[in-house]
Amino acid sequence: MTTPQALAGLKVADFSHVVAGPLATHFLALNGAEVTKIEPPTGDPLRNYTLDPAQRGMAPPFVGINAGKSSVVLDLKTPRGRDQAEAIIAASDVVVENFRPGVMARLGLGAKAMRAKYPHLIWCAVSGFGQTGPMADVAAMDQIVQSLAGVMLLSGQPDDPAMRVGFPLVDTFAGLLAAFAIQTALVQRERGLVRGQEIDVAMLDAALVMMLSVVNPLLIAGEEPVRTGNRGFSRAPTSDTFACLDGAITIGAVEDAHVARALGVLGLSDLLSQPRFADRAQRAAHADALAGRIAAVLATRPAAAWEAAFRAVGVPAARVQTTAEALAMPQLTGRDLVLTLPDGRRILNAGFRFATGGPGTTRPAPALGAGAAQTTTS
Protein backbone atom coordinates (compact mmCIF):
# COMPACT_ATOMS: atom_id res chain seq x y z
CA MET A 1 0.00 0.00 0.00
CA THR A 2 1.38 3.43 -0.96
CA THR A 3 2.20 5.63 2.00
CA PRO A 4 0.03 8.78 1.91
CA GLN A 5 1.80 12.03 1.28
CA ALA A 6 2.22 14.39 4.21
CA LEU A 7 -0.44 16.89 3.09
CA ALA A 8 -2.97 14.43 1.64
CA GLY A 9 -6.49 15.71 2.28
CA LEU A 10 -5.38 19.30 2.91
CA LYS A 11 -7.41 21.76 0.86
CA VAL A 12 -5.77 24.94 -0.41
CA ALA A 13 -7.49 27.91 -2.08
CA ASP A 14 -4.86 29.57 -4.24
CA PHE A 15 -5.68 33.13 -5.34
CA SER A 16 -2.07 33.86 -6.27
CA HIS A 17 -0.48 34.47 -9.64
CA VAL A 18 2.87 34.56 -11.46
CA VAL A 19 5.66 32.98 -9.33
CA ALA A 20 5.97 33.52 -5.57
CA GLY A 21 2.47 32.51 -4.47
CA PRO A 22 1.97 29.74 -7.04
CA LEU A 23 5.37 28.31 -6.15
CA ALA A 24 4.33 28.10 -2.49
CA THR A 25 1.19 26.18 -3.41
CA HIS A 26 3.18 24.10 -5.89
CA PHE A 27 5.22 22.69 -3.02
CA LEU A 28 2.04 22.00 -1.08
CA ALA A 29 0.58 20.20 -4.11
CA LEU A 30 3.73 18.13 -4.60
CA ASN A 31 3.26 16.94 -1.02
CA GLY A 32 -0.33 15.86 -1.52
CA ALA A 33 -2.48 18.95 -0.93
CA GLU A 34 -5.57 19.55 -3.07
CA VAL A 35 -4.88 22.98 -4.55
CA THR A 36 -7.67 24.87 -6.25
CA LYS A 37 -6.24 27.67 -8.35
CA ILE A 38 -8.69 30.57 -8.63
CA GLU A 39 -8.02 32.50 -11.83
CA PRO A 40 -9.62 35.52 -13.49
CA PRO A 41 -11.24 35.02 -16.91
CA THR A 42 -7.95 36.03 -18.55
CA GLY A 43 -6.01 33.47 -16.47
CA ASP A 44 -2.80 33.72 -14.51
CA PRO A 45 -0.48 36.06 -16.46
CA LEU A 46 2.26 33.42 -16.13
CA ARG A 47 0.30 31.28 -18.59
CA ASN A 48 1.53 33.63 -21.32
CA TYR A 49 5.18 34.10 -20.26
CA THR A 50 6.49 32.86 -23.59
CA LEU A 51 7.54 34.23 -26.97
CA ASP A 52 6.16 31.16 -28.74
CA PRO A 53 2.51 31.73 -29.78
CA ALA A 54 1.89 27.98 -29.71
CA GLN A 55 2.68 27.89 -25.99
CA ARG A 56 0.40 30.73 -24.94
CA GLY A 57 -2.01 29.65 -22.24
CA MET A 58 0.33 26.87 -21.12
CA ALA A 59 3.76 28.53 -21.11
CA PRO A 60 6.57 26.36 -19.69
CA PRO A 61 7.12 28.58 -16.60
CA PHE A 62 3.41 28.15 -15.77
CA VAL A 63 3.35 24.41 -16.41
CA GLY A 64 6.39 23.85 -14.22
CA ILE A 65 4.85 25.24 -11.01
CA ASN A 66 1.16 24.44 -11.43
CA ALA A 67 1.15 20.70 -12.00
CA GLY A 68 -1.30 18.78 -9.82
CA LYS A 69 -3.62 21.74 -9.27
CA SER A 70 -7.16 22.38 -10.48
CA SER A 71 -8.25 25.66 -12.07
CA VAL A 72 -11.48 27.51 -11.38
CA VAL A 73 -12.32 30.69 -13.28
CA LEU A 74 -14.02 33.37 -11.16
CA ASP A 75 -14.62 37.04 -11.78
CA LEU A 76 -14.09 38.48 -8.30
CA LYS A 77 -15.51 41.81 -9.48
CA THR A 78 -18.99 40.26 -9.58
CA PRO A 79 -21.17 39.23 -6.60
CA ARG A 80 -21.49 35.71 -7.99
CA GLY A 81 -17.73 35.37 -8.36
CA ARG A 82 -17.16 36.58 -4.80
CA ASP A 83 -19.83 34.21 -3.44
CA GLN A 84 -18.21 31.29 -5.24
CA ALA A 85 -14.80 32.33 -3.95
CA GLU A 86 -16.06 32.45 -0.39
CA ALA A 87 -17.54 28.98 -0.75
CA ILE A 88 -14.12 27.67 -1.83
CA ILE A 89 -12.44 29.51 1.06
CA ALA A 90 -14.93 28.10 3.58
CA ALA A 91 -14.13 24.56 2.47
CA SER A 92 -10.35 25.10 2.57
CA ASP A 93 -7.68 24.70 5.22
CA VAL A 94 -5.26 27.18 3.68
CA VAL A 95 -5.70 30.34 1.60
CA VAL A 96 -2.80 31.84 -0.35
CA GLU A 97 -3.00 35.20 -2.10
CA ASN A 98 -0.51 37.67 -3.49
CA PHE A 99 -2.62 40.66 -4.42
CA ARG A 100 -1.53 44.12 -3.34
CA PRO A 101 -2.38 44.61 0.37
CA GLY A 102 -6.02 45.58 0.81
CA VAL A 103 -7.32 44.19 -2.50
CA MET A 104 -8.90 41.08 -0.99
CA ALA A 105 -10.40 43.15 1.85
CA ARG A 106 -12.02 45.56 -0.62
CA LEU A 107 -13.62 42.55 -2.29
CA GLY A 108 -15.03 41.43 1.06
CA LEU A 109 -12.69 38.43 1.02
CA GLY A 110 -9.88 39.69 3.23
CA ALA A 111 -8.13 37.70 5.93
CA LYS A 112 -9.84 39.47 8.85
CA ALA A 113 -13.36 38.98 7.48
CA MET A 114 -12.81 35.41 6.33
CA ARG A 115 -11.02 34.28 9.48
CA ALA A 116 -13.77 35.81 11.62
CA LYS A 117 -16.24 33.55 9.82
CA TYR A 118 -13.89 30.58 9.33
CA PRO A 119 -11.40 30.73 12.23
CA HIS A 120 -9.70 27.46 11.25
CA LEU A 121 -8.13 29.09 8.19
CA ILE A 122 -4.42 29.47 7.70
CA TRP A 123 -4.14 32.57 5.56
CA CYS A 124 -0.89 33.39 3.78
CA ALA A 125 -0.48 36.73 2.03
CA VAL A 126 2.61 37.16 -0.15
CA SER A 127 3.46 40.70 -1.25
CA GLY A 128 6.39 42.88 -2.20
CA PHE A 129 6.82 44.68 1.10
CA GLY A 130 4.37 43.14 3.54
CA GLN A 131 0.91 44.02 4.82
CA THR A 132 2.18 46.87 7.02
CA GLY A 133 4.68 49.71 6.80
CA PRO A 134 5.09 52.80 4.60
CA MET A 135 5.78 50.72 1.47
CA ALA A 136 2.91 48.26 1.85
CA ASP A 137 1.07 49.73 -1.16
CA VAL A 138 4.14 50.01 -3.41
CA ALA A 139 4.13 47.76 -6.48
CA ALA A 140 6.92 45.20 -6.63
CA MET A 141 8.30 42.42 -8.75
CA ASP A 142 11.40 40.25 -8.50
CA GLN A 143 13.91 42.56 -10.15
CA ILE A 144 12.59 45.58 -8.23
CA VAL A 145 13.24 43.81 -4.93
CA GLN A 146 16.63 42.58 -6.15
CA SER A 147 17.50 46.21 -6.76
CA LEU A 148 16.23 47.50 -3.40
CA ALA A 149 17.67 44.70 -1.29
CA GLY A 150 21.21 45.04 -2.63
CA VAL A 151 21.20 41.73 -4.51
CA MET A 152 22.28 43.48 -7.70
CA LEU A 153 25.46 44.75 -6.04
CA LEU A 154 26.65 41.42 -4.66
CA SER A 155 27.86 39.68 -7.82
CA GLY A 156 30.58 40.63 -10.26
CA GLN A 157 33.64 42.82 -9.74
CA PRO A 158 33.63 46.02 -7.63
CA ASP A 159 33.48 48.34 -10.64
CA ASP A 160 30.89 46.34 -12.61
CA PRO A 161 27.44 47.86 -13.17
CA ALA A 162 24.56 46.52 -11.10
CA MET A 163 23.31 43.20 -12.45
CA ARG A 164 20.23 41.18 -11.54
CA VAL A 165 20.55 37.47 -10.84
CA GLY A 166 19.48 35.78 -14.06
CA PHE A 167 16.29 34.11 -12.80
CA PRO A 168 13.51 35.27 -10.41
CA LEU A 169 15.57 34.53 -7.32
CA VAL A 170 13.51 36.56 -4.84
CA ASP A 171 10.20 35.21 -6.13
CA THR A 172 11.55 31.69 -5.78
CA PHE A 173 12.87 32.09 -2.25
CA ALA A 174 9.75 33.98 -1.13
CA GLY A 175 7.63 31.10 -2.42
CA LEU A 176 9.71 28.54 -0.56
CA LEU A 177 9.59 30.66 2.60
CA ALA A 178 5.80 30.92 2.29
CA ALA A 179 5.46 27.15 1.92
CA PHE A 180 7.63 26.66 5.00
CA ALA A 181 5.57 29.19 6.96
CA ILE A 182 2.30 27.51 5.94
CA GLN A 183 3.51 24.10 7.05
CA THR A 184 4.77 25.59 10.31
CA ALA A 185 1.31 27.08 10.90
CA LEU A 186 -0.27 23.71 10.13
CA VAL A 187 1.85 22.13 12.85
CA GLN A 188 0.79 24.91 15.25
CA ARG A 189 -2.85 24.22 14.48
CA GLU A 190 -2.55 20.45 14.74
CA ARG A 191 -0.84 20.79 18.13
CA GLY A 192 -3.68 22.98 19.36
CA LEU A 193 -1.45 26.01 19.82
CA VAL A 194 -3.55 28.19 17.50
CA ARG A 195 -6.97 27.85 15.92
CA GLY A 196 -5.89 29.47 12.68
CA GLN A 197 -3.16 31.82 11.52
CA GLU A 198 -2.38 34.86 9.38
CA ILE A 199 0.99 34.75 7.63
CA ASP A 200 2.59 37.84 6.13
CA VAL A 201 5.43 37.07 3.68
CA ALA A 202 7.21 40.04 2.11
CA MET A 203 9.56 39.64 -0.82
CA LEU A 204 11.90 42.31 0.59
CA ASP A 205 12.10 40.48 3.93
CA ALA A 206 12.67 37.19 2.12
CA ALA A 207 15.45 38.67 -0.01
CA LEU A 208 17.34 39.91 3.04
CA VAL A 209 16.93 36.56 4.82
CA MET A 210 18.21 34.84 1.68
CA MET A 211 21.27 37.14 1.88
CA LEU A 212 21.96 36.30 5.53
CA SER A 213 25.55 35.30 4.79
CA VAL A 214 26.33 38.94 4.08
CA VAL A 215 23.54 40.64 6.04
CA ASN A 216 24.46 39.09 9.41
CA PRO A 217 28.10 40.28 9.29
CA LEU A 218 26.75 43.75 8.42
CA LEU A 219 24.35 43.70 11.38
CA ILE A 220 26.83 42.18 13.82
CA ALA A 221 30.08 43.89 12.90
CA GLY A 222 29.25 46.58 10.37
CA GLU A 223 31.03 44.65 7.59
CA GLU A 224 29.78 45.90 4.24
CA PRO A 225 29.38 43.23 1.52
CA VAL A 226 32.25 43.13 -0.97
CA ARG A 227 31.88 42.09 -4.61
CA THR A 228 34.43 39.38 -5.30
CA GLY A 229 33.48 38.10 -8.75
CA ASN A 230 33.71 34.31 -8.85
CA ARG A 231 35.88 34.11 -5.76
CA GLY A 232 34.10 32.21 -3.02
CA PHE A 233 32.50 33.55 0.15
CA SER A 234 35.73 32.73 2.00
CA ARG A 235 37.59 35.12 -0.36
CA ALA A 236 40.38 32.57 -0.63
CA PRO A 237 42.25 32.89 -3.97
CA THR A 238 42.22 29.09 -4.17
CA SER A 239 38.40 29.17 -4.16
CA ASP A 240 37.63 30.71 -7.52
CA THR A 241 36.76 30.02 -11.16
CA PHE A 242 39.54 29.79 -13.73
CA ALA A 243 39.79 29.44 -17.50
CA CYS A 244 41.23 26.17 -18.76
CA LEU A 245 42.53 25.00 -22.12
CA ASP A 246 38.95 23.98 -22.84
CA GLY A 247 36.19 25.49 -20.71
CA ALA A 248 36.54 26.66 -17.13
CA ILE A 249 36.72 25.14 -13.66
CA THR A 250 35.69 26.22 -10.18
CA ILE A 251 37.89 25.14 -7.29
CA GLY A 252 36.81 25.24 -3.65
CA ALA A 253 40.07 24.94 -1.69
CA VAL A 254 39.65 26.96 1.51
CA GLU A 255 41.04 24.96 4.41
CA ASP A 256 44.81 24.56 4.64
CA ALA A 257 44.72 20.85 3.84
CA HIS A 258 42.71 21.41 0.67
CA VAL A 259 44.94 24.30 -0.39
CA ALA A 260 48.00 22.10 -0.02
CA ARG A 261 46.42 19.32 -2.06
CA ALA A 262 45.22 21.70 -4.76
CA LEU A 263 48.63 23.29 -5.14
CA GLY A 264 50.13 19.81 -5.24
CA VAL A 265 47.89 18.86 -8.17
CA LEU A 266 49.01 22.03 -9.92
CA GLY A 267 52.68 21.41 -9.23
CA LEU A 268 52.85 24.57 -7.12
CA SER A 269 53.49 23.10 -3.67
CA ASP A 270 56.66 25.16 -3.33
CA LEU A 271 54.56 28.32 -3.07
CA LEU A 272 53.54 27.35 0.46
CA SER A 273 57.13 27.86 1.59
CA GLN A 274 56.95 31.51 0.61
CA PRO A 275 55.89 33.83 3.48
CA ARG A 276 53.27 35.59 1.35
CA PHE A 277 51.43 32.31 0.72
CA ALA A 278 52.22 30.46 3.94
CA ASP A 279 48.87 30.86 5.69
CA ARG A 280 45.30 31.86 4.97
CA ALA A 281 45.70 35.50 5.96
CA GLN A 282 48.83 35.97 3.84
CA ARG A 283 47.24 34.22 0.86
CA ALA A 284 44.27 36.59 1.11
CA ALA A 285 46.60 39.59 1.30
CA HIS A 286 48.41 38.45 -1.84
CA ALA A 287 45.39 36.91 -3.53
CA ASP A 288 45.92 38.25 -7.02
CA ALA A 289 49.51 37.05 -7.18
CA LEU A 290 48.54 33.53 -6.11
CA ALA A 291 45.51 33.44 -8.39
CA GLY A 292 47.72 34.45 -11.31
CA ARG A 293 50.08 31.53 -10.73
CA ILE A 294 47.14 29.12 -10.48
CA ALA A 295 45.49 30.51 -13.61
CA ALA A 296 48.63 30.05 -15.69
CA VAL A 297 48.81 26.34 -14.87
CA LEU A 298 45.08 25.66 -15.27
CA ALA A 299 45.15 27.15 -18.76
CA THR A 300 47.33 24.24 -19.94
CA ARG A 301 44.76 21.42 -19.67
CA PRO A 302 41.01 20.93 -20.28
CA ALA A 303 38.59 21.54 -17.42
CA ALA A 304 37.43 17.92 -17.30
CA ALA A 305 41.00 16.70 -16.78
CA TRP A 306 41.59 19.14 -13.95
CA GLU A 307 38.24 18.25 -12.38
CA ALA A 308 39.23 14.58 -12.24
CA ALA A 309 42.66 15.39 -10.83
CA PHE A 310 41.30 17.59 -8.02
CA ARG A 311 38.57 15.16 -7.10
CA ALA A 312 41.08 12.33 -6.93
CA VAL A 313 42.73 14.06 -3.95
CA GLY A 314 39.48 15.20 -2.32
CA VAL A 315 39.56 18.85 -3.38
CA PRO A 316 36.12 20.26 -4.23
CA ALA A 317 36.12 21.14 -7.92
CA ALA A 318 33.68 21.28 -10.82
CA ARG A 319 33.93 22.27 -14.45
CA VAL A 320 31.53 25.01 -15.49
CA GLN A 321 28.48 23.48 -17.18
CA THR A 322 25.30 24.62 -18.85
CA THR A 323 22.01 23.86 -17.14
CA ALA A 324 21.26 21.29 -19.85
CA GLU A 325 24.56 19.54 -19.10
CA ALA A 326 23.73 19.56 -15.40
CA LEU A 327 20.35 17.92 -16.01
CA ALA A 328 22.05 15.19 -18.06
CA MET A 329 24.42 14.18 -15.25
CA PRO A 330 24.20 10.49 -14.24
CA GLN A 331 24.20 11.66 -10.62
CA LEU A 332 20.58 12.75 -11.02
CA THR A 333 19.38 9.36 -12.28
CA GLY A 334 17.05 7.73 -9.78
CA ARG A 335 16.80 10.75 -7.51
CA ASP A 336 13.19 11.60 -8.43
CA LEU A 337 14.26 15.14 -9.24
CA VAL A 338 12.51 15.25 -12.61
CA LEU A 339 8.89 14.19 -13.00
CA THR A 340 7.46 13.05 -16.33
CA LEU A 341 3.79 14.00 -16.49
CA PRO A 342 1.17 12.04 -18.47
CA ASP A 343 1.22 14.66 -21.22
CA GLY A 344 4.94 13.95 -21.71
CA ARG A 345 6.16 17.20 -20.21
CA ARG A 346 8.99 16.99 -17.72
CA ILE A 347 9.13 19.25 -14.66
CA LEU A 348 11.25 19.53 -11.56
CA ASN A 349 10.10 17.84 -8.37
CA ALA A 350 10.51 19.33 -4.89
CA GLY A 351 14.23 18.65 -4.62
CA PHE A 352 14.12 16.35 -1.58
CA ARG A 353 13.29 12.68 -1.13
CA PHE A 354 11.41 10.70 1.49
CA ALA A 355 11.85 6.96 1.98
CA THR A 356 8.05 6.68 1.61
CA GLY A 357 5.27 9.10 0.76
CA GLY A 358 7.57 11.68 -0.76
CA PRO A 359 6.80 14.61 -3.03
CA GLY A 360 5.51 14.27 -6.56
CA THR A 361 2.42 14.39 -8.74
CA THR A 362 1.07 12.46 -11.72
CA ARG A 363 -1.24 15.24 -12.89
CA PRO A 364 -0.27 17.95 -15.39
CA ALA A 365 -0.87 21.65 -14.96
CA PRO A 366 -4.53 22.50 -15.58
CA ALA A 367 -5.92 24.25 -18.60
CA LEU A 368 -7.73 27.44 -17.64
CA GLY A 369 -10.91 26.40 -15.81
CA ALA A 370 -10.10 22.69 -15.94
CA GLY A 371 -11.78 20.33 -13.51
CA ALA A 372 -10.33 19.15 -10.22
CA ALA A 373 -6.97 17.45 -10.21
CA GLN A 374 -5.71 15.02 -7.61
CA THR A 375 -2.12 14.83 -6.47
CA THR A 376 -0.52 11.48 -5.90
CA THR A 377 2.81 10.31 -4.66
CA SER A 378 5.61 9.89 -7.17
Task: Provide the terminal-to-terminal Cα distance of the chain, rounded to the nearest Å.
Answer: 13
Give the active site residues: 171
C-alpha 164/C-alpha 171 separation (Å) is: 13
Beta strands in 76-119 (DSSP E): 94-97
C-alpha 337/C-alpha 69 separation (Å) is: 19
How big is the CA angle at 66 (ends 321 and 41), to the nearest 5 degrees? 130
Helix or strand run (H / E) with residue 347: strand 346-348
b/e per residue, 183-217, with b = 16+ CB within 10 A? bebbeebeeeeeebbbbbbbbbbbbbebbeeebee
| 152 and 225 Cβ atoms separated by less than 8 Å | no
C-alpha 268/C-alpha 265 separation (Å) is: 8
C-alpha 125/C-alpha 105 separation (Å) is: 12
C-alpha 230/C-alpha 36 separation (Å) is: 43
DSSP code, position 357:
S
